[in-house]
Copies of this chain bind each other. A is one copy, B any other.
């Protein structure tokens, strides 16, 4: 039901086994994630009921408070995971790129989603059914260690970010956001420049940085004026990534605002 919220059901859904098998292939052979290391037997278990689906830009994959029906794998495209503050202000907590899994925390803890996932551009996402996934998790030797490690990494990331948000002023947080975007979606160009290959609105950059829209606009304009970044349509090119790294790591109040 979650799947059908944003997209009409695939026109092929009713055609039975042949199409079903087609979905299975999409959800396994084109995937870059951990599941490609599963044994044939485990793959079979996992793929029961799996479905691949296309989403337009700005479509909701799952929503905070909903009960999960399975786990998602981002095959192509980009997705943001955000939480809604009680004043309506969104805070992006994570970015996903192809190969990333989505919604596994809710499945593993048996809770409802505590964040919302929305596509940043048109994306292909695979959905593995909850029972199939949990069954595979139990019989597989690689899956539990993988998720243990992955959760550890997520936790470290979240706690590092916590520190950043508490202690860093807006300027450093926006610089840190650009660094984060380089890591997630960056493509290296000539002479050390990096293209952030994602079309993010100013509001989304603000929501990543934990600042208000106008502040993000002003700081980006300032970065541009200083020739650290440039704008190419809706995309950002980083001219001086070392400067951004320096700013984002510098402690509060030592930065001069020339």
Give A contacts to B, CB under 8 Å.
Answer: 83, 85-87, 89, 91, 93, 105, 108-111, 114-115, 144-145, 147-149, 151-156, 158-163, 165-167, 210, 249-253
Other A-B pairs beyond A83-B160, A115-B159, 9, CB < 8 Å: A85-B167, A91-B162, A108-B148, A108-B149, A114-B156, A114-B160, A151-B155, A154-B155, A165-B165
Number of chain copies forming the complex: 2
Taking a contact as CB atoms under 8 Å apart, the answer to whether A152 and B87 are in contact is no
Q: Given A87-B252, A167-B87, A167-B89, verify A162-B158 contact (CB < 8 Å).
A: yes
Could you tell me the distance between the alpha carbons of A114 and B105 in the complex, rounded to whole angstroms?
22
Q: Given A105-B156, A156-B105, A156-B111, verify A85-B163 contact (CB < 8 Å).
A: yes
Within the complex, the shortest CB–CB distance from A158 to chain B, in Å, comes to 4
Q: Which 6 A-B residue pairs are closest in the complex by CB-CB distance?
A: A109-B152, A166-B210, A87-B251, A151-B151, A158-B158, A85-B167
Within the complex, the shortest CB–CB distance from A173 to chain B, in Å, comes to 9
Contacts of A145 in B (CB 8 A): 144
Within the complex, the shortest CB–CB distance from A138 to chain B, in Å, comes to 9
Could you tell me the distance between the alpha carbons of A120 and B161 in the complex, rounded to whole angstroms?
25
Q: Who on chain B is nearest to A164 by CB?
A: B85
Taking a contact as CB atoms under 8 Å apart, the answer to whether B108 and A152 are in contact is yes
Within the complex, the shortest CB–CB distance from A84 to chain B, in Å, comes to 9
Taking a contact as CB atoms under 8 Å apart, the answer to whether A93 and B162 are in contact is yes
Q: Given A108-B152, A149-B109, A152-B108, verify A159-B93 contact (CB < 8 Å).
A: yes
Q: Who on chain B is nearest to A153 by CB?
A: B109
Could you tell me the distance between the alpha carbons of A109 and B151 in the complex, rounded to whole angstroms?
9
Q: Given A87-B251, A91-B166, verify A114-B159 contact (CB < 8 Å).
A: yes
Taking a contact as CB atoms under 8 Å apart, the answer to whether A109 and B167 are in contact is no
